[in-house]
């Protein structure tokens, strides 16, 4: 893990811009937030392919679908809650139902818009989008995975939703190929299998390492694709450990926890979910919210330890 922190939005914008140098089909659509999403350089280099619409996510999604019909590869990035919750009907009908080659990126996912509160949180986006048939749901865990996920989603022929955060994050992994639907084993162990996704994985790694210092070896799987989930990797680990614990910065209903439970349910293996309680979440500084809701490393260590102590 690198100590240097990297802005995920700038990473996103730079990765799309680099690909656009090679692929003239790539266009970026903005709903009054393209610059905040990291696309300032794209606009400067390709002004004819940068389309600003103002705050109308539903309309932008419809235009993106139309552009895809004509052979363009539209990338629409805005606040995660706005491109999923507010925009669900257009996402479902114009993009999902029509199987359009549109890439929708939700930035400041989870609670990372902590200063603006629940109206700007995105704690149901995995659940909402994975219910639209045929849409890939990505949640890269570090800057390297963001870069890889951009390449993968632009190469993928079909609709994709990708969630990134807002605060700067560390590089967690060595450079490598990003493949949709494939997870990675981050730590090996036999006490239980922890499955994490998105930027919260940095806290989970720290928690699992703290458990390791106690002599408790937990297997940690990083899952940057929520849909389709890597059922083979999860199933193989679950059979070894006999216990699955999911961790996500999302409500404990409908997201990663549900995807994992669906794939291991037939195995009869115990599953526990760590995430946000299904209630309206408070406003405050982001680190304080992580601590308050048990999602920072010290709290995760205690929560995982508690679940292990209850037995199978």
Question: CA nearest 147: which of 126, 173, 128, 125?
Answer: 173
Check: CB of residue 152 under 8 Å from CB of residue 180: yes
The beta strands (E) that lie in 171-302 are given as 184-187, 193-196, 219-222, 225-227, 243-251, 270-276
Residue 177 placed within a domain: no
DSSP β-bridge partners for residue 107: 79
Residue 131 placed within a domain: yes
Q: Residue 223 is part of a domain; what is its CATH number?
A: 3.40.50.920
Whole-angstrom distance, CA of residue 259 vs CA of residue 227: 8
| Residue 88 belongs to domain spanning | 5-170
Question: Token match 């603006």: residue?
Answer: 116
Structure tokens, 290: 């992580």
Q: Residue 99 is part of a domain; what is its CATH number?
A: 3.40.50.970
Same domain, 166 and 242: no
Check: CB of residue 146 under 8 Å from CB of residue 15: yes
Same domain, 228 and 162: no
Residue 312 placed within a domain: no
pLDDT at residue number 311: 64
State percent of the chain over pLDDT 90: 96
With a cut of 70, which residues of the chain have pLDDT below it? 1-2, 311-312
Q: 3-state SS of 25-93?
A: CEEEEECCCCCCCCCHHHHHHCHHHEEECCCCHHHHHHHHHHHHHCCCEEEEEEEHHHHHCCCHHHHHH
Task: Specify the number of domains making up the chain.
Answer: 2
pLDDT at residue number 312: 47
Same domain, 28 and 158: yes
Residue 152 placed within a domain: yes
Same domain, 290 and 206: yes
Same domain, 74 and 103: yes
Residue 273 placed within a domain: yes
Q: For residue 228, is the peptide bond before it cis, meaning its omega torsion is within 30 degrees of 0? A: yes
The pTM (predicted TM-score) of the whole model is: 0.96
Residue 217 placed within a domain: yes
Same domain, 162 and 285: no
Question: CA nearest 6: which of 172, 176, 225?
Answer: 172
Residue 258 placed within a domain: yes
Residue 308 placed within a domain: no
pLDDT at residue number 258: 97
């Amino acid at each position: 893990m690198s100590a240097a922190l990297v802005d995920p939005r700038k990473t996103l914008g730079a990765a799309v811009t680099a690909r656009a140098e090679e692929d003239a089909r790539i266009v970026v659509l903005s709903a009054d937030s393209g610059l905040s999403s990291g696309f300032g350089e794209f606009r400067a280099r390709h002004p004819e392919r940068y389309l600003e619409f103002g705050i109308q996510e539903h309309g932008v999604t419809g235009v993106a679908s139309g552009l895809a019909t004509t052979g363009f590869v539209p990338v629409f990035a805005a606040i995660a809650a706005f491109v999923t919750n507010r925009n669900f009907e257009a996402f479902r009908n114009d993009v999902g139902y029509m199987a359009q080659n549109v890439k929708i990126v939700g930035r400041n996912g989870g609670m990372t818009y902590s200063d603006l509160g629940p109206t700007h949180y995105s704690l149901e986006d995995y659940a909402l989008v994975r219910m639209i048939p045929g849409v890939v749901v990505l949640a890269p865990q570090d800057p390297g995975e963001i870069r890889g996920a951009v390449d993968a989603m632009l190469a993928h022929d079909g609709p994709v939703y990708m969630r990134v955060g807002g605060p700067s994050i560390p590089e967690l992994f060595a450079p490598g190929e990003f493949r949709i639907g494939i997870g990675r084993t981050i730590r090996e162990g036999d006490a239980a299998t922890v499955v994490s996704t998105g930027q919260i994985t940095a806290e989970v790694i720290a928690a699992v390492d703290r458990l390791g210092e106690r002599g408790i070896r937990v297997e940690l799987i990083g899952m940057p694709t929520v849909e389709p989930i890597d059922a083979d990797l999860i199933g193989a680990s679950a059979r070894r450990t006999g216990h699955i614990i999911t961790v996500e910065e999302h409500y404990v209903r409908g997201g990663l926890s549900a995807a994992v439970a669906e794939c291991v349910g037939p195995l009869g293996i115990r599953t526990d979910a760590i995430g946000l309680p299904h209630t309206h979440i408070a406003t405050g500084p982001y680190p304080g919210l992580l601590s308050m809701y048990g999602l920072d490393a010290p709290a995760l260590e205690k929560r995982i330890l508690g679940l292990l102590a209850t037995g199978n």
